[in-house]
Amino acid sequence: MIMGSTLAKCALTDLGIQWAGWALAAAFRTEKFYDLAERRNVPLGPRDYIGWTVWGIGFATEAIADQQKWLFKRNPDNAVSKHACYSKQTLNALFGMKNRLSGLHLQGKFIQSGLWAYSRHPNYFGEILQWSGLWVSATSVMQGPQYLSVVSPLFVWFLLRYVSGIPILEKQALKKWGSEPAFQDYIKNTPLLWPWPKF
């Protein structure tokens, strides 16, 4: 019930944000931008294909990272760290109820496999790529001050990196696993956001 309620709130919030965006677009009469693009009759060019490719890579990165984390969290073997003193049977019995247990604090493992081996936040990296790809594609019809719309992908990066996403998750992770040598090694050797291959 808690999960369904949270998902419903997220969906309604997202829908509200989209409606607000469309209302602002109408208020600022941004349809003139689209009229300009149609009047220019610019054929598809390299920036369109590069932008769509960047967007597609970002979409795939975010989707794969989210799926990997979801599967990791669903695995009862990852529910507690290897230092815990609970049997596998006990964990399997308690796994679905851990949020309702008042006196028992289960400290799950942290994910460091898949895309998470190359970035501590690959899903956010994918999100940033998506916004950047859309902007690159749109530049094929931009003129003059319209290029200032680069603020959009930069703002997404700034929010995720410094305000709402990464700082909160990093603080929570340090609180949970900060004393574990494996986590300290993970932080030391895995980039925060921009992935880097391990050789």
Q: What is the DSSP string of 102-137?
A: SS----PPPP-SGGGGT-S-HHHHHHHHHHHHHHHH
- Model confidence pTM above 0.75: no
Q: What is the pLDDT of residues 127-147, one digit of tens each?
A: 999 999 999 998 988 888 988
- 195 part of a folded domain: no
Same-domain check for residues 61 and 156: yes
Same domain assignment for residues 57 and 86: yes
Q: Assess whether 77 and 159 both reside in one domain.
A: yes
In a domain, 9, yes or no: yes
28 shares its domain with 69: no
Instruction: Say yes or no: 161 and 71 in one domain.
Output: yes
* Cα–Cα distance measured from residue 168 to residue 8, given in angstroms and rounded to the nearest whole number: 22
- Residue 89 in domain: yes
Q: Judge if 5 and 51 occupy the same domain.
A: no
Stretch 100-125: mean pLDDT, rounded? 76
Task: Provide the pLDDT for residue 108.
Answer: 78
Assess whether 51 and 37 both reside in one domain: no
Same structural domain, 23 and 50 = no
- In a domain? residue 130: yes
Asked, for residue 166, whether it belongs to a domain, the answer is: yes
Instruction: Provide the residue range defining the domain that includes 49.
Output: 44-189
Residues 7-15 have a mean pLDDT of 54
In a 10 Å sphere around its CB, with 0-12 CB exposed, 13-18 middle and 19+ buried, how is residue 26 labelled?
exposed
Residues 173 and 185 placed together within one structural domain of the fold: yes
**3-class DSSP assignment, residue 37:** helix
> H helices then E strands: how many in the chain?
8, 0
Asked whether residue 52 falls in the same domain as residue 100, the answer is yes
In a domain, 126, yes or no: yes
pLDDT digits (tens, 9 = 90+) for 148-184: 989 989 999 999 999 988 999 999 999 999 889 999 9
Q: What is the mean pLDDT of the chain?
A: 77
Residue 33 is assigned to a structural domain of this protein: yes
How many structural domains compose the chain? 2
In a domain, 26, yes or no: yes
Specify whether 26 is located in the same domain as 73.
Answer: no
Residue 114 region, left (φ>0) first, then alpha (ψ -120 to 50), else beta? left
Q: Do 6 and 60 share a domain, yes or no?
A: no
Q: Find all residues with CB under 8 Å of 171, minimum gap 6, and list them.
A: none
